[in-house]
Structure 1
Amino acid sequence: MSTRVGPLDVDALRARLDRATAAAAVAGVDALLISPGSDLRYLIGAGGSSYERLTCLVLPVGGTPVLVVPKLEQPGYAAIPTDDLGVEVAAWVDGEDPYALVKRALKGTDRIAVSDMTAALHTLALRDAIGGEQVLAGPVLRELRMRKDAAEIEGLRKAGAAIDRVHARIGEWLKVGRTEAEVGADIAAAILAEGHEEVAFVVVGSGPNGASPHHALSDRVIGAGEVVVVDIGGPVAEGYNSDSTRTYVLGEPKDADVAETYAVLQAAQRAAVDAVRPGVTCEEVDAVAREVIADAGFGEYFVHRTGHGIGLDVHEEPYIVAGNDLPLEPGMAFSVEPGIYLPGRWGARIEDIVVATETGVESFNNRPHELVVLPA
């Protein structure tokens, strides 16, 4: 269980708690119940882990926050400045009813918002103990979390630089005759060596496997002339994630259409990044990338959204997708990652993490966007 507060100071955490309760009040919610995970880490600096024993931050509007935690797990939260944050700790031992502690901390409420990822084991028990109406806390908290502050942006900037260093070394491991799994193991070790706390994911999609956007790893042997999609990421110590994709080829491409098709993808990704600025909607950025690819005749082969928000979670709001008319604001960070996937043949994707600034866009990934040719 992580207890890192990262670069945040007590004042920053207290401000987040205050903003969360204010947002809850605006949403007509009497209290937030926050279980372990990224929401908890955002609010108090430690995410913890969810088990069969209840851990829950009770955040009532106009009341005192209470962290309900099993006594045997309480040491894991020792680094959290609960006194300075004005958070009471209610530790419980086996045999006690933790849901009754939550009810007591609420002091009578009618409408409660529960963390989206709270286990059903706890959600149903809380409903039985508290009564009233329960709704999701996601719509309240995502309004706060998708607008990154300076410390969060610095964490994402650090993560982007770390994953760029890994991509710069791909040629050390991506070689003809090796399997995707062998290459992936070396990349995973480098993700840790270059400054990440964990490996969130490693995708090495060679040849036809590259046409599957969420292919991970396999025992397929990589051949000469094959296009290989490498999508990698993970969190740095501050909890903020990297996520970057580059496409490689081992020697001269064996398919004659690779260079021309990849040029379309590169133009689409560049156009979408250039479109990012405050006031432009998420769906407009998606449309820019999609139009370039469709106009070149590859529209049916771009099979996913253009991007997703990123922060303490790899995937979070805002989503860069058709139908999302949310205007971009400074501090919104997300991926721009169009792809072209030719079933049974090969695929390609280019992905950068960017943030909307006051005047435009900043990219946290700065590796070249050209198709990277490695020795066969």
Structure 2
Amino acid sequence: MKLVCVDCNKEVSADLFDYQCTCGGLFDIVHDTAQLDAEFLKRVFHDRLSERMTPYASGVWRYKELIFPELADEYITTKYEGNTGLYASEQIQSYTGSNRKVLLKAQSENPSGSFKDNGMTVAVSHGRSLGYQRFTCTSTGNTSSSLAMYASLANQESYVFVPNKNISLNKVLQTLAYGANVISFDGTYDDGIRFYEQHSKELGLYICNSINPFRIEGQKSIVYEIAQYLNWNLPDWVVIPGGALSNVTALGKGLQDLKKLGFIDKLPRVALVQAEGASPFHRMVAEGRTELVPEPTPYTRASALNIGNPPSWKKALRTLEETNGVTCSVTDQEILDAKAWVDKSGIGCEPASAATVAGLRKLIAQQVIDKDETAVCILTGNMLKDTDALHEYHLGESSTTSYKNAIRPAELTLDSIQSIL
């Protein structure tokens, strides 16, 4: 296993771990896969589905040979993350205008309620193997609650930097409940990233944000799991929401692994969806630029996407190039309306997750995605991650709510209840 810089291609041993190359580029982890046999591993991964209370019961560590084969089991910190549902929904198929099956991958079913658990189990486990006892991240919410959970599970300390506005209080409360040291600061997610890039070493902090390549390795397992559930036959499209762009980076890397090793015959195309108020990557792609221009004051009601300078944009661009992918942006109203449909379909998600369904609907309407192509939408977070959004949409005074489901006051009389029924 080695680290390879995505900018200058410099190679270093993974034993000489760092988050960034001396040139400033981020590292990728590259495994020695020469001895791996796809058909043998398919049988191994299938057999591990019956595991209970071992690391291989995890939907991440089930694929240990593709993620972190060198790690000793004693360092693995797991809550049996992954193993999340993959659902077909006729309601969402109808809403998006698709003629074919639309699948929803509910990463919201992870232990801390978001897709971050797939990567965090690997990051914290790696940090422990290096002897770290203090773990850190800057976060708009999901990363912080995931880190706090795993650090506490491992009896380690976590220090979380949280912007003091445009975040979900539910996620901060969850982070506090798990025992993290929460540090609120005046600034943006990007300011927090810059701070600990400069000072983490002198503070003895192990960084668990997406600049950490081991976190990306864990998140790859999301696409491995989708492929295994579908008997190694992926749909035409994978639709992913984009904030820091770690997920599109990880899933793109996982797709390349599966194709290179012979698990799948062809790559699906990737569609990356950003919120209109925080879409620097989409604008770069749409305008044909090769450098990202950060947004100093991003804003979207989908707080998990509220990132103006995504650190993984170069890796995300590589994923689009390798999969002939596309990007789009959707308004907050489109996101919240799509969320209402996902919620009433019986699956549920937080606003950022619903960007995928809103994006699929838009791309089908624009004929970028054909109605007869199949798609899987990644739902990244639980619907209770942002109860303010639910309150505003269904119980608020907004006149733009399209699918409001208000509480209905009634007297407990037969006539009153019959009128409702």
Pairwise same-fold verdict (TM > 0.5): no
Larger strand proportion of the pair:
1
By relative contact order (CA 8 Å, sep 6+), the higher-ranking structure is: 2
Report the TM-score, using the length of structure 1 for normalisation.
0.26
Report the TM-score, using the length of structure 2 for normalisation.
0.24
> Larger Rg: 1 or 2?
1
